[in-house]
A and B are shown apart, each in its own frame.
Chain A
Amino acid sequence: MTRIIGLAVAVLAVVVATTQPAPVPPVPTVEMTTGAEAPTGRASHFAHCPWSRSDSLRSSAYSVLGEGPAGFVLSFLEGGSVEDRLSGRTDADTAARVENPRPVGASSAMVEFSGNVGSVGVVTTGEGLLAGDLCSGRIPDSWHLPGGSTLEGESLVLRLFNPFTADARVDLWAFSELGIEAGEALEGLTVPAQRTRVVALEELLPGRESLSVIVRPVAGSVIPAMVLDTGTDVAVWPGSGAGDGWEFPVAGAVGFRSDLVITNEASIPVNFLVEAFDESGAQLPSQAGRIEGPGQARVSLDGLSSSGFGVRVTGDGPFGAVIVARSEAGVAATVGARTTATGWLVPGPGVVGSGSRLRLLNAGVTELTATYRTLTPEGRTRANVIGIPPNSVRTVHIAAPEVAGVRVTADGPLTVGWLATVSGRAMFSGAIPSG
C-alpha cells in the first residue's frame, strides 16, 4: 500500500508540475512608442536645427515660438562642446527671432524649451540662396530624406547633427534611379558627440538624377538635414520619420515644377495615392503608384494646377515623403505634415523681406474657418479670419517683415505651410501642429 500511495502521489505531482506553464512576464499596462510608429512631429521641449548659414553675403534667422509662455535656450554645438548659447522668452502673443547668431559658416544648433513646448524654423537668405525649413523635434527610429539629386553642377550634402553626449553610428540607405546604392562609405558612419558630420553625396554617388537617403542609427541618435545646392539656389529640408499619410499645403508654386518623392524602407511594397488640391476646390487628377520596398518613387506634380496647390499622399504602409520644386533659378523642398490639426505654429514667415505666403490646406469635406495671428518679438499681434472651402487650399500673404511666427487655429482639421520667393528663388516650409 505504501508503495502504491507513494507512487500515485509522486506521479500525480510530477505530471501536474510538468504541465505548469512558465510564469507570464509582466504585461505592459501603458502603450509605449514602438519602432514601427514614429513620433507625430508635434511641438516638443526641444528642436534640433542641423543647418544654418551666415557670412558677409548671407544671413540666417531662427524664429522661435511656443504654445504658451516659454523660455528657450539656443545652443550651438561644434567640436564636441557648446560653442555659444543664447536664451530668450516668448509668451502667447510673441515670437522670437534670433538673427545671425553665428557670424560665419554653417552651424548646427539645438533649442531647449522650458515651461512649454515650442517650435523653431530657420531661414537663410542672401546671395544665391533662399532656403529654410522647420527644425526637427522628436526623433524617429530612422530618418527619411527623399528628393535629392547629384546631377552635374549640383551639390547634395547630408548633414548629420549629433547634439548628444554619446557618439552615434549610422548606416545610410541610398536609393536612386539605379536602385539601392551600396558602398562601404555609406555604412557605419560615426558621428562624434556634439558634432556635425557632413556627407558629400555628390562625391559618393555622383550623377544621380533622383537620390533619396534613409538614415538608420545603429548606436546613438543623429538629426539629419539635406542641403541641395543647384548653383543658383539652395534647398534645405529636414529628415522625417515614416508615416501612412502626408499632407503638403505647399506642394507647388507658380513657375516651379514639383515632384513628390517618397521612400519605403520596409521590404514589403507600399501602394500610394496622391491627391491634389488647389484654390478652386475643383477635382484635380489623382495619381496612384507603388513603391517596391525598399526603394523610392518620384511622382511628377507638373501640370496639376496653374496656381499654387497642395497635395495629400496616403499609402497602405509607412513611407517618407518630400516635395521638391525647381525652376530655372530656384529650388525648394519641404517635408509634409503627418497629421492634421486644428492649431498650428508657423515659425519664420516675415523673415524674407519680400514677404511670404501662408498656405492652408483643407483636405476634408467641410468648410473650415481659420484664424491666423501674426506674432512679432515685440508682441504686436494681428489676427485675421479666413474661410477654407472643402478640398481646397487658401493662401495668405504675410507682408510685415517683423513677423517672426504665425499661430493658426481652425474649427476643423487642416494643415499649414508657408513659402517665399525672391528673384526666382524659393523656399518651402512646414509648420508644427499645436494644442
Chain B
Amino acid sequence: MTQSSPPSPKPRVLALVVARRGDDVAEVLASIDSQVYEVEDVVVIAERRPGVTPDANGPKTARRLSEALDAVDGPVDYLWMLDSRTTARPDALVALIDAAESLEASVVGSKVLDTDHPDRLLSVGGPTDVFGFPYTGLETGEIDQEQFDVIRDVAFLEPASLLVRRDLAEGLGGLDHSLPYLSFGLDICQRARVVGGRVVVTPGSEVFSRASGAQRPTTWREQAGRLRIMLKTYSLVTLAWALPALFLVGLATWLYRLGKGFITGPVDWVRTWAWNLLYLPSTLAARRRAPTTSMESDAELFRFQVRGSLELREIAAELGALLGAGAEEEEPDDRVPPAFWQRPDVITTVLGVALVLVLTRSIIAEGLPATGYLLPLAESAWDTLRAYAGGWHPGGLGSPEPMHPSIGATAAIQLLLGGRGGAAGILTVGAVASGVAGMVALIRRLGLSRGARLVAGAVFVAGFPVLWLAGQGYWPGLLALGGLPWSLLGVAGPNPETVRGWTERLARVGLATAASAAFVPLSIVIPILFGLVWASVARRSRPLVIGAAGSVLALPVLLPWLSGRGIAEVLGSGAPFHPDPSWWVAAPLVVAGAAAMMVARSRPLSVAVTGAAIGSVGFLVARAGSAGAGQETTVAGLIATAAGAALVVAGALDAPASLGIDVSLPRTATAYGAMVAAIVVGLTSLIAAPAGRMGLPDDRFGTLAFASSRAEAHGPDRVLLTGPPETLPGQHRVLPDGTPYRLIGGVLDYPQAWLPEARLGDAALQETLVGLMDGEELRPGELLARFGIRWVAVTGPSPIADAMSAQLDMRPLAGLFVGESGGVWENDVPAYRAVTDGGEAWSWTPPDYEGRQAGGSVRIAENADHRWGPGAWQQDGWANRVPAEAGVATFGGVGSFRFQARAAGVVVILLAGLSLVRARREAGDRPV
C-alpha cells in the first residue's frame, strides 16, 4: 500500500507592483485581489507614492525590494512582480506557482496579451542575441491561437508578470530600477541564469498589458539598459569581444537608420554610450555584488541566445525585402526557417554587395580619377547651387546660360554629404549599388529567378553600354544608373488600388525618373518607352500611363537647363557618341535575345521581348550621331541599351525553365543556347572587375593641378587646353580646321564640364587661335592675356602646340606634361581674369570676383553681359567692365532661370517626401 506523503505547505507569495511614473495602479491591484491564489501581501515599489486613493487599507509602498520584504509579516517564498500597466487573469498566479514548483524554475513569466485586443499576443518570452536584443518571434498583431502554449526555457521575459523565487531575488542584490521596461525584465532573467537559475515562460498564466510598439527595443534607453546588463553579467573575456562588436553593430545600425531618414540615430547611439559612462560606477558596483560572472556563467547564457546580431538580421531582412520589393511571397514552409544567411534575399543581397564592391573597389579605396566628364566637384556646393540657379555658367568664357542638370544634382548631394572627393565617390558607388539593387528588384517584380536577377543587375551596371560610356569618361552616365531601374520597377508594378496608392506610386516613379534624368536628361523618356513596350507585352494599359506620368513628374528636374536650350538643341547638340561594341560582346547578347524570343514562354518571353525592344531602339539612338543625334540623345540611347541588355539576359537565363516538360528537343536546345549566351554576356560584365573602377579610364587631369601650385596670390587664372578630344576634360570647342581646344578655370571642377553656347568672347578667342596657328603671331601671350589665359597646356598633337614652338612671350615649363606629348607654356604677360585699371588682379571666387576696393573700374574677362555689377556696367569689347569700388563683381542672375531651378528643387523634395512617408510607414509596420 502506498502511503501518501503529507501535502507540502502552500508557497507564500508577495505581490510586488513595479510602478512606473504617472501610472494608476488601481487596476493591477484589483486584478491581484481577484486571484484565486491568495497573496500574502501587496507592496508597490515606486520612487513616489503611486496614484491611488490614500486610505489606511491601501497597499504598502517601498522604494526598494529590501524595504518591501521588510514590510511583509513573516517569510515569503515567491515574489510576483507585476508591471503597473498589467492586469492578470484570476488564475495567472496559480499557473505561475504550478510551473515554478513543478519545474523548479527560478523565474517564471506569463504570456502577455494586448489589453485592447485580448486575442493578440504581445510576448511569450524568447531568446536574445549576445547583446541582449530580444527576439519575440511574433508578428505584429499575431493572434493567440495557443500556438505558443508550451512551457519553454527562455532567455528573456517581459516584466509584465514575473514570478521570482524570493531567495534568488535577495541573492541577486535587488532590482535595478535604473533600467527601462524591457531591460528590467532582461536583467532579472540574465542574473537568474548566471547563478544557475531556470527561466521559463508558462502560457497558462495570462496577463494583459498595453502594446508599446515594435520599435521599443531600439530606443536608446533600452539600448543603454542592455549595455548595462552586459556589463553587469558578462565575464571580462566575453566583454572583451562583445563590447567592440556592440560598438560596431550600433554604428552600422545608426548609419543604416540615418540612410532611412531617422536622423536621431547618431544621437541615440551617443546617448547610449554616454548614459552608461555616466552610470558606470553604479554598474561596476552592481557587477561586484553579483554572485558570479565567469566563462561558465556566460556559457549558460549563450545556451539561450541566437548567434550574431538580431539588429543586423533585421537590417539584412529589410534590405532583402527592399530588393524583393514584395513582389512574390516565399512558399509557405512548415520546416524550421533557415538561418538568416541562408535566406535567398540575404544571399542575393550579399552577392549584389560583393559585385558592387568588386566593380568599385578602386573608387572606394583610391577615389575617383579625373577624366572625361568626371571632374572634381566644386569646392563650394552652395556656391555651385547659386550659380546653377540662374547664375553665371563658368564654362569657357562664361555665359548666363543654365548649367547641365547634373551639376545642380551633384552639388545638392555634395551639400548633403559634405566634402568633394568623398561625395563624388559615395555618389558613384551609391549609383552603381542602387542600379544593381534596382535591376534585381525589377527582375524580381517581373517574376524571374534569383540567378536572372543578379546577372541582370551585373549586366545593367557593367555591360558593354555602360562600360563603353565609362570608357569615354562620361560620369553622369554612371550616375543615371541609380534611378532608372527603380523607375521601371514602379512602371511594371501592380496597379495601386487607392488614390493614396496611386499618389505614392507616381511619386516614386517620378522621383526615380528624376534621379536618372538629372544626370542623363533624355533618359526621362525611357520609362515611357518601357511602359509602352510592357503595356503591349503584358496587355495592360497602366504601365504606359505610369511611365508617362513619371516622366512628366520628373520633367521639372531638367529646368532651367531645358528651357534655356530648347528641345531641338538638346536633341542635336554636343559631340555624339558612337558605340561600336566588339563582336565577342555583341554576338552573345544578340544570340541570347534572339533565341529567348524564339523559344521562351511566359514571363521570360515577355521580359526578353521587352528588353530586346528597348535595347535595340536604344542602340539605334545611340548610333544615330550621323543622323543628327547629339550627345545627350546618344547617351540616353546607351542607357536604354544597358537596361534592355539586362532584361534580355534575364529573360534568356530563365528561358529553359519556362518551357515545361513537353517540349521538342530543338526548342529545348535553343533555350539552353540562350541561357549559355546570357551567361557569356554576364561574364563579359566582369571585364571591369580587375581594375575595380567601373571601366573609368586612368586619371588624366591630375597634372592640371600645376595651375594651383603656380598661381599668384589672386588665385589661378585660365588654362587653354588643346589636344585630341579624348584628352580634354568635358566638352570642347573646335577651330575651323578641326583643332579641339577648351578653356578651363585654373581649378578644374565639374561645373566646367559642359560648355555653353559660344558668345562674343569665344569668337574672339577662336579668331586669336586661328591667327596664332597661321604662324603670324610671335607674341601669343600678349593676345591670350586678354582672355585671362596664363597657361597653354597641350595634351597631345595639336597645331596650337606647333605654333607655340615659335613665339616669344610664353615660356615652356620644362618637364611638365599634361598628356602623353605636348607641354605647358606659361604666359610672361600678366594674364588676369579680372584686373582693375591700376593693374591689380582680382580673385575668381565662383561665381563672383573679389578684390581690393579701388577707384575706377575692373575689367572682367567673361563674355559680355549687362547683368554684371554692381554699379554701372560697360561693355569692353567682348568683356565687361564694372566699378571697382565695391571690391566685388557679381553676376546679377537670370530671374526666370532662378525661379525654375527653385521650382525644380521643390518638386524633387515633394516627390521625395511623398515617397519617404510611405517608406517610413511601411518600416513601422514591419514585424519585429
B806 contacts A164, C-beta separation under 8 Å: yes
Query: Assuming the A-B contacts A7-B598, A22-B625, A23-B625, are A138 and B617 also in contact, with contact meaning beta carbons closer than 8 angstroms in the complex?
Result: no
A28 lies within 8 A of chain B by Cβ: yes
B578 contacts A10, C-beta separation under 8 Å: no
B809 contact set on A, CB distance < 8 A: 165
B627 lies within 8 A of chain A by Cβ: yes
A423 lies within 8 A of chain B by Cβ: no
B807 lies within 8 A of chain A by Cβ: yes
B597 contacts A20, C-beta separation under 8 Å: no
Interface 1/0 per residue, B594-636 and A, CB below 8 Å: 1001100000011011101101110110111111000000000
Query: Assuming the A-B contacts A10-B612, A33-B774, A166-B804, are A2 and B578 also in contact, with contact meaning beta carbons closer than 8 angstroms in the complex?
Result: no
CA distance A22 to B623 in the complex (A): 8
Query: Assuming the A-B contacts A9-B616, A9-B617, A20-B626, are A139 and B812 also in contact, with contact meaning beta carbons closer than 8 angstroms in the complex?
Result: no
Q: CB within 8 A of A165: which of B606, B737, B808?
A: B808
CA distance A112 to B777 in the complex (A): 10
**Interface size counted on chain A using CB atoms at 8 A:** 46
A29 lies within 8 A of chain B by Cβ: yes
A13 contacts B805, C-beta separation under 8 Å: no
B465 to chain A, nearest CB (A): 12
Number of A-B contacts (CB under 8 A): 131
Query: Assuming the A-B contacts A23-B576, A25-B738, A219-B805, are A165 and B825 also in contact, with contact meaning beta carbons closer than 8 angstroms in the complex?
Result: yes
B590 lies within 8 A of chain A by Cβ: yes
Interface 1/0 per residue, B570-587 and A, CB below 8 Å: 000001101010000000
A17 lies within 8 A of chain B by Cβ: yes
A167 contact set on B, CB distance < 8 A: 812
B597 contact set on A, CB distance < 8 A: 3, 6-7, 10
User: Interface stretch among A39-47, A64-72, A266-274, A321-329?
Assistant: A39-47
A45 contacts B778, C-beta separation under 8 Å: yes
The residue on B at minimum CB distance from A112 is B778
CA distance A10 to B626 in the complex (A): 20
A125 contact set on B, CB distance < 8 A: none
A45 contacts B776, C-beta separation under 8 Å: yes
A20 contacts B612, C-beta separation under 8 Å: no
Query: Assuming the A-B contacts A10-B593, A13-B620, A23-B578, are A2 and B609 also in contact, with contact meaning beta carbons closer than 8 angstroms in the complex?
Result: yes
CA distance A167 to B593 in the complex (A): 59
Query: Assuming the A-B contacts A21-B626, A165-B812, are A14 and B778 also in contact, with contact meaning beta carbons closer than 8 angstroms in the complex?
Result: no
B770 lies within 8 A of chain A by Cβ: yes
The residue on B at minimum CB distance from A7 is B597
A168 contacts B626, C-beta separation under 8 Å: no
Q: CB within 8 A of B616: which of A10, A21, A163, A220?
A: A10
A16 lies within 8 A of chain B by Cβ: yes
CA distance A45 to B807 in the complex (A): 12
B537 lies within 8 A of chain A by Cβ: yes
CA distance A22 to B580 in the complex (A): 9
Query: Assuming the A-B contacts A22-B578, A168-B805, are A9 and B812 also in contact, with contact meaning beta carbons closer than 8 angstroms in the complex?
Result: no
B736 contact set on A, CB distance < 8 A: 28-30, 32
The residue on A at minimum CB distance from B628 is A23
The residue on A at minimum CB distance from B537 is A2
Query: Assuming the A-B contacts A2-B606, A3-B597, A9-B613, are A26 and B734 also in contact, with contact meaning beta carbons closer than 8 angstroms in the complex?
Result: yes
Query: Assuming the A-B contacts A20-B627, A30-B736, are A165 and B807 also in contact, with contact meaning beta carbons closer than 8 angstroms in the complex?
Result: yes
Q: Which of A211-230 contact B (CB under 8 A)?
A: 217, 219-221
Query: Assuming the A-B contacts A3-B609, A20-B626, are A30 and B770 also in contact, with contact meaning beta carbons closer than 8 angstroms in the complex?
Result: yes
B619 contact set on A, CB distance < 8 A: 13-14, 17
A110 contact set on B, CB distance < 8 A: 808
B524 to chain A, nearest CB (A): 20
B810 lies within 8 A of chain A by Cβ: yes
A164 contact set on B, CB distance < 8 A: 805-808
B291 lies within 8 A of chain A by Cβ: no
B627 contact set on A, CB distance < 8 A: 20
A168 contact set on B, CB distance < 8 A: 805
The residue on A at minimum CB distance from B624 is A20
B613 contacts A6, C-beta separation under 8 Å: yes
Interface 1/0 per residue, B766-781 and A, CB below 8 Å: 0000100111111100
Q: CB within 8 A of B805: which of A2, A28, A221?
A: A221
A167 to chain B, nearest CB (A): 8
A24 lies within 8 A of chain B by Cβ: yes
A3 to chain B, nearest CB (A): 5
A25 contact set on B, CB distance < 8 A: 738
A17 contacts B620, C-beta separation under 8 Å: yes
A30 contact set on B, CB distance < 8 A: 736-737, 770
B811 lies within 8 A of chain A by Cβ: yes
B602 to chain A, nearest CB (A): 11
B460 to chain A, nearest CB (A): 18
B775 contacts A28, C-beta separation under 8 Å: no
CA distance A434 to B811 in the complex (A): 32
The residue on B at minimum CB distance from A114 is B779
B623 contacts A20, C-beta separation under 8 Å: yes
Q: Which of B621-661 contact A (CB under 8 A)?
A: 622-627
A250 to chain B, nearest CB (A): 28
Interface 1/0 per residue, B804-829 and A, CB below 8 Å: 11111111100000000001010010
CA distance A381 to B447 in the complex (A): 99
Q: CB within 8 A of B738: which of A17, A20, A26, A44?
A: A26
B810 contact set on A, CB distance < 8 A: 165
B135 to chain A, nearest CB (A): 48
Q: Which of A378-435 contact B (CB under 8 A)?
A: none
A220 contact set on B, CB distance < 8 A: 805-806
CA distance A71 to B811 in the complex (A): 25
CA distance A24 to B617 in the complex (A): 22
CA distance A97 to B857 in the complex (A): 43
A16 contact set on B, CB distance < 8 A: 620
CA distance A164 to B622 in the complex (A): 47
CA distance A377 to B609 in the complex (A): 88
CA distance A167 to B813 in the complex (A): 11
CA distance A112 to B608 in the complex (A): 72
The residue on A at minimum CB distance from B577 is A23
Query: Assuming the A-B contacts A20-B624, A220-B805, are A166 and B578 also in contact, with contact meaning beta carbons closer than 8 angstroms in the complex?
Result: no
B778 contacts A32, C-beta separation under 8 Å: no
A14 contact set on B, CB distance < 8 A: 590, 616, 619-620
The residue on A at minimum CB distance from B576 is A23
B737 contacts A32, C-beta separation under 8 Å: yes
Query: Assuming the A-B contacts A20-B627, A165-B807, are A7 and B537 also in contact, with contact meaning beta carbons closer than 8 angstroms in the complex?
Result: no
CA distance A112 to B804 in the complex (A): 17
CA distance A39 to B778 in the complex (A): 15
CA distance A110 to B811 in the complex (A): 18
CA distance A9 to B229 in the complex (A): 67
A223 to chain B, nearest CB (A): 9
Interface 1/0 per residue, A359-388 and B, CB below 8 Å: 000000000000000000000000000000
B722 to chain A, nearest CB (A): 15
A165 contacts B811, C-beta separation under 8 Å: yes
B778 contacts A221, C-beta separation under 8 Å: no
A222 to chain B, nearest CB (A): 9
B776 contact set on A, CB distance < 8 A: 44-45, 138
Query: Assuming the A-B contacts A10-B597, A46-B778, A112-B778, are A23 and B806 also in contact, with contact meaning beta carbons closer than 8 angstroms in the complex?
Result: no
B734 contacts A221, C-beta separation under 8 Å: no
B825 contact set on A, CB distance < 8 A: 165-166
Which has the most chain B C-beta neighbours within 10 Å: A28, A39, A164, A165?
A: A165
12 A–B contacts, CB within 8 A, in A order: A2-B605, A2-B609, A3-B605, A10-B594, A10-B613, A17-B623, A28-B736, A29-B736, A30-B737, A30-B770, A112-B808, A165-B810
8 closest A-B pairs (Cβ-Cβ)? A6-B609, A13-B616, A23-B625, A30-B736, A221-B806, A10-B612, A17-B620, A10-B616
Beyond the given pairs A112-B778, A165-B825, 14 more chain A to chain B contacts, judged by CB atoms under 8 angstroms and listed by A's residue number, are A2-B609, A7-B594, A7-B612, A10-B593, A10-B594, A11-B594, A22-B626, A28-B736, A45-B778, A46-B778, A112-B808, A139-B775, A193-B812, A220-B806
Which B residues are within 8 Å of any A CB, using their own CB? 536-537, 575-576, 578, 580, 590, 593-594, 597-598, 605-606, 608-610, 612-613, 615-617, 619-620, 622-627, 734, 736-738, 770, 773-779, 799, 804-812, 823, 825, 828
